[in-house]
A and B are shown apart, each in its own frame.
Chain A
Amino acid sequence: MGRNRKAWATIASLAICLVHILPFYILLTTSFKASDDLSSKWVFPGYLYLDNFSNAWQEANMLTAFRSNVVVTAISVALIIVVGSVAAYPLARYQTRWNKFIYALFVSALIVPPLTILVPLYKFMVDIGGMNHYWGIILLFVTFNLPMTIFLYTGFIGTIPRELDEAAMIDGAGRFELFFRILLPLLKPITATVVILTGVAVWNDYQFSVFFLQHPHTRTITVALASFFGQYNSNIGWVAAGSLMGALPMIVLYLFLQRYFISGLASGAIKG
């Protein structure tokens, strides 16, 4: 490729970046702008104004919301990993007709959007008393993230040579021991992928949380923001500041670990 063409391509790529970053620029200007400043959102305020942040933090009860997010995400992801990896082991290694059926059953749920069974699920949650409790929504997150998790783990275990199992068992290892001592450490790369994919999904969730965690003491960031938006619709600076604070943890994590975020998605999807 000519040097000239490459230079143009580089400029074009920077232009694309600029367009894609615009929403974040507008989010910044809006969240730093005083409520009586009626200048355009395109203009960055020439002063430092942080009231939007402190007001949003207090009014939306962000501290409680952050705590809910951390608790729900951490426990959900941990359970997803344990239940999912353990379930994938027999499905990958002992492909009896029955196990193939079970695997198909798990994976077919990938295409079922949880919202389609919202009404009965909501009723069921009320019946078992899981409404507005962390454990209720955690069980839902675990269940609905299992199809993808089992799919990824089963595929990955399939790529680990069976000779390894056999060698370990000749050395006298039991099957469970084999799984926990020998296979599990080998699953680190796919576990990282699962942590990122399910972690992002659970952390950002709104469609479940809005139904099952409405109480101000247990609601998560997105639910807090949505009710905040309903209340302070006219005070857009507060909403912007709240949105920025809500998105920031994931943005920071992404900027530090982006290689894992991006390659995790690609490897997970292509291998299937």
Chain B
Amino acid sequence: MANVRPFTTNDVRPDPAAPLGGPAGKRMRGSAWLNLLYVPALILFGVFIFYPFIKGVQISFTNWDGYNQDFKWIGGFNYKRMFSDPDMGRVIRNTVIYGVGSAFLQNVIGLAYALFLNMNLRTRGLVRTVIYLPVIISSLIMGYIWYFFFQYDGGAINDILLLFQDEPSNLLGDKDFNSWIITFVNTYQYLGIAMVLFLAGLQTIPKDYYEAATIDGATAFDRFRHVTWPLIAPSLTISMVLNLIGGLKLFDVIVAMTNSGPGYASASMSSIMYLLYFGREDAGYAATIGILMFVMISIVSLVALFLLRRREVHA
């Protein structure tokens, strides 16, 4: 590293906290060299995110099949097709269920578990370990594990149902119900994240707040409403946004449990893209759905972030 010393001599005391521009800007010029350090990251971004993204927009205006070199520009046809495609209504409904449904369930159950574990139980460590365990397992494998429960032939749930009925239920084949099963599995797998985030948030609340509230005659509900709830706002923000994004882009569990079926009944935007591209060789249309998904997830996460951050400020 000795050869890089020279340019440290003329700017001995960079003060990044100083206002930018003017003399401070000049003082910082020597450190511009250091910006080289993020160039590798920037190149990777350009090559594997920005360039493909622009390409994707281009492809969405073509009828490219994904393999052939020749394709036609078809203007906004794919977009028109997307908004009049009856399957797409279904796919968007499912995507919203996977996103909003699991984010809601994960946060409600995660918060309940966190409040419960915060009671200083002796079993606390054990419970946390068990509930968080699924988080570290591949969601494809998690999908298979739950498939053993919900499968038609010899599924664990049907074994129980058969005590009350004569025929097994085709739970995963039920096109109005199976997206809820998938939401449930996603919730089961990742609610440990919400729980851990809430637990961390609860631990930052000073004990005297509760004592003071109790002296003032606050009930347990009051204490939750006026002390806990506002003060775990940062945990809620991060947990909500993480789970929303996780649910909106759901893919592995769907592939494992229903493979988007029957038909497209349980498809999410990610899983239908996969089917259109590799199953139907409909690359132009698949790229268009990718762009819609990108727009949707960006808007939803930005709105969620904005709303939840505002709540933090008020709290």
Contact = CB atoms under 8 A, between A and B. Distances in A.
Interface of A: 1, 6, 9-10, 12-14, 16-17, 20-21, 23-24, 26-27, 30, 38, 40-42, 83-84, 86-91, 93-99, 102, 105-106, 109, 111-113, 115-124, 139-140, 142-144, 146, 150, 162, 166, 169-170, 172-177, 179-181, 200, 203-207, 210, 221-222, 225-226, 229, 236, 239-240, 243, 246-247, 250-251, 253-255, 258, 261-262, 265-267, 269-270, 272
9 residue pairs, one from A and one from B, having the closest CB atoms: A204-B138, A87-B38, A120-B55, A266-B200, A113-B249, A87-B41, A116-B294, A120-B52, A120-B56
Interface in B198-248: 199-201, 204, 234-235, 238-239, 242, 245, 248
Contact of A89 (B34, B141, B142, B294): B34
B149 interface: yes
Interface string B4-45: 110110001110110010000100100101110110111011
B38 A240 contact: no
Given A26-B149, A205-B138, 4 more contacts: A111-B297, A113-B270, A206-B251, A229-B256
Contact of A94 (B7, B31, B256): B31
A86 B290 contact: no
A96 B26 CA distance: 11
B261 to A, nearest CB: 13
B16 A116 contact: no
Size category of the binding interface on chain B = 35 or more
Contacts, number: 305
Nearest to B241: A111
Given A124-B52, A239-B144, A13 B34 contact: no
Which interface residue of B52, B283, B290 has the most chain A CB atoms within 10 A? B52
Given A94-B14, A175-B8, A99 B234 contact: no
Interface of B: 1-2, 4-5, 7-8, 12-14, 16-17, 20, 25, 28, 31, 33-35, 37-38, 40-42, 44-45, 47-49, 51-53, 55-56, 58-59, 66, 113, 116-117, 119, 121-124, 126-134, 136-142, 144-146, 148-149, 151, 154-156, 159, 188, 193, 196-197, 199-201, 204, 234-235, 238-239, 242, 245, 248-249, 251-252, 255-256, 270, 273-274, 277, 283, 286-287, 290-291, 293-294, 297-298, 301-302
